[in-house]
Amino acid sequence: MQKQALVGPANGEARKPFYRILYVQVLIGLMLGVLTGHLWPDFGAALKPFGDGFVKLVKMMIAPIVFCTIVSGINSISDSREVGRTLVKSMALFYLLTVLALLAGLVAVSLIQPGVGMHVSVSTLDPSVAAKFTKQASATGFADFMLHIIPHSFFGAFADGEVLPVLLVSILIAFGLSRAGDGGAVVTKAVDSFSQVLFVSFGFVMKLAPLGAFGAMAFTVGRYGIRSIGSLGLLILTFYIACSVFVVVVLGTLARLNGFSLWKTIRYFKEELLIVLGTSSSEPALPGALRKLEQLGCRKGVSGLVLPMGYSFNLDGSAIYLTLASIFIAQACDIHLSWGQIAAMLGLMLLTSKGAAGVTGSGFVALVATLSVMPDLPVTGVALLVGIDRFMSEARALTSMISNCVAAITVSLWEDACDREVLARELGGSGSLKVAAGSKIGGGAVLQGDKAWISTTQSAA
């Protein structure tokens, strides 16, 4: 019987100084980025390539990491029906959370009413702003969305770097390997070995996270300026309140019902969340989050399937933004929407919110896609938001990231694919077994960061 055990920090290593801890370095990078962008705006805006380069480096690693994680994870599941159950439960949870996120944005903007009293004339809005995003938002039909999941070729899925096509290819290959006999065993071993190499390589890339966060934040503050928040500060505040309420109330309740703590989960993923905050993109956090879900005791075959799916089907931050921004435009332009029109808009957003990828600006593209087919609201209204969208993209990405981590743990628990003792111990930060770095332990050890996964073989009595 094969068993995986998690061991904690190696006792052969001294505790790292605080300034060598990744999340501390990212925090320092964020603060320096804000100061640089504020004091030297032109220089800060010129640092954009640092943030963009880091995100591109991470995106380069995502497709093969997702592929290896899903293939090895599904291949380890003895009952193939479990994969189907996981997909159904995940999609049901994703759509429930999306509906609640849409309602959270609607309630917040209806109560606080940040656009009331602006009296903006539609004729004065610049149509060129929306035109730049209309092309990206052209495919909004359900059939187009489903066909987009199928890559043009096997390697095309990896070349484009999008999660859903890679997910489809991974599932097909995993089922093929599980039925290929001895030939499949050779490929499975190669995939497992390649996965270890990828995670070690990704560790090198993550050392650049502080630099990426510094460059991205310096660009944001230098390009748009902190003072740009003032004109639409109430809208930004409304959005942050809506996201906070969704995380605390909805996700907190979901976590509590399933026996784990939301706050401890957020603390556990703090490095990934700080990287999301710095880069305004949830994609750089995907590989690290996959690794940490395994450390929490979640079976790779389940968590490795749920989390990548969530990046396309559970973008709750974007869902909150869609309803809030749409109603704000209506309020600012003195357009009254009936409850029937609002209900139709919510139904449309259930689709358009799924087309937004986890990259910077995707929520804005999804908003344009929604307004483009909504005759009641002017698509030119997005011109009101373009100057402050960057300041809201961080909250969109953070909310979606937290939601996907909670969803992955929840579905793993529903499928009895998460060791509750390991989950409680890891979230509690105590009870970890310590081994010296480089020690040989039966079955071999794979060090990842300051943790080690050890495969041990136990014979059944």
Residue 298 has a pLDDT of 92
Residue 330 and residue 342: Cα distance in Å, rounded? 11
Burial 135-164 (b: 16+ CB within 10 A, else e): eebeebeeeebeeeeebeeeeebbeebbbb
* Model confidence pLDDT, tens digit, residues 418-455: 999 999 999 986 433 333 333 333 333 344 444 433 33
CA-closest candidate to residue 66, choices 294, 307, 384, 292: 307
Range of the domain at 380: 2-457
* Model confidence pLDDT, tens digit, residues 377-399: 888 888 778 767 777 888 888 99
Residue 401's pLDDT band (boundaries 50, 70, 90)?
A: very high
Average pLDDT over residues 338-347: 85
Phi and psi torsions of 436, nearest 5°: -75, 145
Residue 13 has a pLDDT of 39
Q: What whole-number percentage of the chain has pLDDT above 70?
A: 78
Which amino acid is present at 446? V
Residue 314 and residue 28: Cα distance in Å, rounded? 30
Tokens 């605390």: give the residue: 248
Residue 408 has a pLDDT of 94
* Model confidence pLDDT, tens digit, residues 82-132: 778 888 899 899 999 999 999 999 999 999 988 888 787 777 666 665 565
Average pLDDT over residues 254-261: 94
Residue 8 has a pLDDT of 43
Average pLDDT over residues 157-173: 80
Residue 10 has a pLDDT of 39
Residue 235 and residue 400: Cα distance in Å, rounded? 19
Asked if 269 contacts 405 with a C-beta cutoff of 8 angstroms, the reply is: yes
Which tokens belong to 7? Answer: 């061991």
Q: Domain tally for the chain?
A: 1
Residue 455 and residue 446: Cα distance in Å, rounded? 9
Q: Distance of alpha carbon 371 from its chain centroid, rounded?
A: 24
> Is the pLDDT confidence value at 135 over 60?
no
Asked if 401 contacts 282 with a C-beta cutoff of 8 angstroms, the reply is: yes
Convert the chain into a string of H (helix), E (strand) and C (coil): CEEEEEECCCCCCCCCCHHHCHHHHHHHHHHHHHHHHHHCHHHHHCCHHHHHHHHHHHHHHHHHHHHHHHHHHHHCCCCCHHHHHHHHHHHHHHHHHHHHHHHHHHHHHHHHCCCCCCCCCHHHCCHHHHHHHHCCCCCCCHHHHHHHHCCCCCCHHHHHCCHHHHHHHHHHHHHHHHCCCHHHHHHHHHHHHHHHHHHHHHHHHHCCHHHHHHHHHHHHHHHHCHHHHCCCHHHHHHHHHHHHHHHHHHHHHHHHHCCCCHHHHHHHCHHHHHHHHHHCCCHHHHHHHHHHHHHCCECHHHHHHHHHHHHHHCCHHHHHHHHHHHHHHHHHCCCCCCHHHHHHHHHHHHHHHHHCCCCCCHHHHHHHHHHHCCCCCCHHHHHHCCCCHHHHHHHHHHHHHHHHHHHHHHHHHHCCCECHHHHHHHHHCCCCECCCCCCCCCCCEEEECCEEEEEEECCCC
Q: Give the CATH number, domain containing residue 421.
A: 1.10.3860.10
